[in-house]
Chain A
Amino acid sequence: QVQLVQSGGEVKKPGASVKVSCKASGYTFSNYGISWVRQAPGQGLEWMAWINNYNGDTKYAQNFQDRVIMTTDTSTSTAYMELRSLRSDDTAVYHCARIRGGTHYYMDVWGKGTTVTVSS
């Protein structure tokens, strides 16, 4: 079945970077995109960024435009999200999600999430 398996939790110091991986299985990775969404403790869902594997198009929320780097490795069906210059308010669970659609895309399959804790 379609599945996204994310890397394990991370603890980082302020100012550092974190790289989260998201390994896809059960579908042709290059035919779909990947989106990243985070949820801070006690908060709702916040969309971060989007990469379309089919044409390489990327979209970012303004809050992450300068701090997020998304990459994909089609040979291993893995997407990566690197968040730089970490702050304490970046402490959150980070989810990857497959994007699907035609003229408009949506997130149909999600990973369980990777907990990133930013603390000095």
Chain B
Amino acid sequence: DIQMTQSPSTLSASVGDRVTITCRANQTIYNWLAWYQGKPGEAPNFLIYKASTLESGVPSRFSGSGSGTDFTLTISSLQPEDFATYYCQQYESFPWTFGQGTKVEIK
């Protein structure tokens, strides 16, 4: 199975901050990576696929980059509604696997 590791596990930030989350795979996944936003009691929100393609309707402050084994999710200017947990997920091969999540909390 492909192991996905995110860092940091928790991130404290303020509204307006630029935030970067890292996701690393233990073997190449080319660019078959997705990012999701999760909030308690809600359906996870699909943000990015193919490592850097923004899903339709997702604000442009979100961006993704990387290929191979190292990836990043960047929020250019954190908004109040962005405080949530973010997950990366590889879909290069089965079983699909997620990172453990990065909680973005209010500083």
Contact = CB atoms under 8 A, between A and B. Distances in A.
B97 interface: yes
Most central of A45, A107, A110 by chain B CB within 10 Å: A45
Interface in B45-97: 45-46, 49, 55, 87, 89, 91-92, 94-97
Interface string A36-62: 000100001111001000000001111
- Judged by DSSP, the binding face of A is strand
Given A44-B101, A47-B96, A113 B43 contact: yes
13 contacts: A35-B96, A44-B98, A45-B44, A45-B87, A45-B98, A59-B94, A61-B95, A95-B44, A104-B91, A107-B89, A109-B43, A110-B44, A112-B42
A47 B97 contact: yes
A107 B42 CA distance: 15
Interface in A5-27: none
Contact-residue bracket for chain A = 20 to 34
B41 A105 contact: no
Given A104-B92, A106-B91, A47 B46 contact: no
Contacts of A35: 96
